[in-house]
């Protein structure tokens, strides 16, 4: 029997974090260069049923272990594979708890590897249903945005409980993601926005609606390769997110440094109050300068993704 491989990748929210909670659209981008691979290998001897061997930087899989464990147990059951000896290897480049979809990517990659190992065709609907098994345990009530984007080579246009729509990207650009090193606090950030909405309903509703309009405009800019327009929309979104109270001094520092170094736009991504920021570079040369500026400004980790991908 062959060795089987299941792949997936990281994701990032380009536009629409926080406003998406209130029914506005969001856009998530796939990051195919930051990948997650599951390998299933047959074992020739022994009665071993399942031995997870974690390799590479995903050393702290334990935090997500329960969701993954349940997923694997159910897959073993589904394929009636409890007596079939094999070994499962996981190799991830995706950092955990950075809003980059590591848990969703693990689920998608594991399901793909299982279906490949058992020579079973897998529809994207079934793939999503399986991934939800893990995400419900890890995240409670997942929206499906993460599992859709880490399984897709296309960006996703998303409206909560309504729409998950891949769309064609027409863009020549490099995105740079930089980590503040400060733990992102999505739960806290969501409650900060909720409190503000109670205290200042009028202005907060306007900010949320404006974020929705900026996201719609960004959707257009991505399809028509209007890079400087996209950058400007990212900057405007950052200003609104700051108004909503979900930025952080170190996010502001990194965002400022990226813009000074030539980024067309820069904003926080995901929950905020720490976590990561995203910058748009016009080309590779500019990207190098922005990366250097971000390093000097204290970014603890930096990733890049160029489009079109090959
Ligand atoms: O950090 P992430 O990728 O999990 O994104 C959080 C996005 C929020 O809009 C802030 C919260 C949510 O549930 O949509």
pLDDT cut 70: percent of the chain above it: 91
CA of 272 to the centre of ligand 1 (A): 9
Nearest CA to ligand 1 atom 14: 21
CB contact at 8 A, 18 and 188: no
Instruction: Report, in this order, helix, strand and coil percent for the chain, each rounded to 5.
Output: 45, 25, 30
- Spatial distance between the Cα atoms of 132 and 211, rounded to a whole number of angstroms: 28
274: Cβ below 6 Å to ligand 1?
A: no
CA of 48 to the centre of ligand 1 (A): 39
More confident residue, 163 or 73: 163
CA of 183 to the centre of ligand 1 (A): 14
CA of 145 to the centre of ligand 1 (A): 9
Domain residue spans of the chain: 4-166, 173-307
98: Cβ below 6 Å to ligand 1?
A: no
Per-residue pLDDT, averaged over 4-27, amounts to 97
pLDDT value for 155: 96
pLDDT value for 62: 54
Peptide bond into 152 cis (omega under 30): no
CA of 290 to the centre of ligand 1 (A): 25
CA atoms within 13 A on the CB side of 108: 26
List the single range of 53-67, 122-136, 241-255, 291-305 with lowest mean pLDDT. Answer: 53-67
Residues 244-300 have pLDDT tens digits of 999 999 999 999 999 999 999 999 999 999 999 999 999 889 999 999 999 999 999
pLDDT value for 1: 66
Where do we find the tokens 């047959």?
42
Report the CATH architecture of 4-166: 2-Layer Sandwich (3.30)
ipTM: 0.96
Q: Do domains 4-166 and 173-307 have the same CATH topology?
A: no
List the single range of 119-123, 169-173, 213-217, 251-255 with lowest mean pLDDT. Answer: 169-173
pLDDT value for 63: 55
20: Cβ below 6 Å to ligand 1?
A: yes
The confidence band for 218, taking pLDDT boundaries of 50, 70 and 90, is very high
Report the CATH architecture of 173-307: 2-Layer Sandwich (3.30)
pLDDT value for 47: 33
Q: Which of 21, 186, 208 for a ligand 1 pocket mutation test, highest count of atoms within 8 Å of Cβ? A: 186
Ligand 1, residue 21: give the atom nearest the CA: 14
Residues 178-187 have pLDDT tens digits of 999 998 788 8
Nearest CA to ligand 1 atom 5: 270
Residue closest to 97 by CA, chosen among 125, 62, 127: 62
The confidence band for 60, taking pLDDT boundaries of 50, 70 and 90, is very low
List the single range of 6-10, 72-76, 147-151 with lowest mean pLDDT. Answer: 72-76
CA of 180 to the centre of ligand 1 (A): 17
């Amino acid at each position: 029997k062959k060795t089987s491989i299941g792949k997936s990748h990281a994701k990032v929210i380009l536009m629409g974090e926080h406003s998406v909670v209130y029914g506005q659209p969001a856009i998530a981008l796939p990051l195919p260069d930051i990948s997650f691979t599951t390998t299933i290998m047959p074992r020739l001897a022994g009665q071993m049923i399942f031995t997870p061997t974690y390799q590479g930087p995903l050393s702290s899989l334990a935090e997500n272990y329960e969701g993954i464990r349940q997923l694997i147990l159910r897959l073993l059951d589904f394929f009636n594979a409890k007596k079939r000896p094999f070994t499962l290897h996981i190799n991830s480049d995706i950092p955990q708890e950075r809003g980059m979809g590591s848990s969703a990517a693990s689920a998608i990659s594991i399901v793909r590897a299982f279906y490949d190992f058992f020579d079973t065709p897998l529809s994207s609907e079934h793939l999503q249903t399986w991934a939800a098994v893990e995400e419900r345990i890890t995240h409670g009530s997942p929206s499906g945005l993460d599992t859709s984007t880490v399984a897709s080579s296309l960006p996703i246009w998303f409206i909560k409980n309504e729409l998950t729509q891949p769309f064609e990207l027409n863009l020549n650009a490099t995105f740079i993601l930089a980590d503040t090193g400060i733990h992102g606090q999505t739960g806290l950030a969501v409650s900060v926005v909720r409190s503000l909405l109670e205290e200042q309903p009028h202005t907060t509703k306007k900010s949320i609606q404006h974020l929705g309009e900026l996201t719609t405009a960004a959707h257009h800019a991505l399809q028509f390769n209007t890079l400087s327009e996209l950058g400007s929309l990212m900057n405007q979104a950052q200003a609104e997110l700051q108004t909503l109270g979900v930025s952080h001094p170190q996010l502001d520092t990194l965002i400022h440094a990226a813009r000074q170094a030539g980024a067309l736009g820069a904003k926080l991504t995901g929950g905020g109050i720490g976590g990561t920021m995203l910058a748009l570079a016009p080309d590779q040369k500019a990207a190098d300068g922005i990366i250097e500026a971000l390093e000097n400004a204290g970014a603890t980790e930096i990733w890049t993704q160029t489009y079109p991908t090959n």
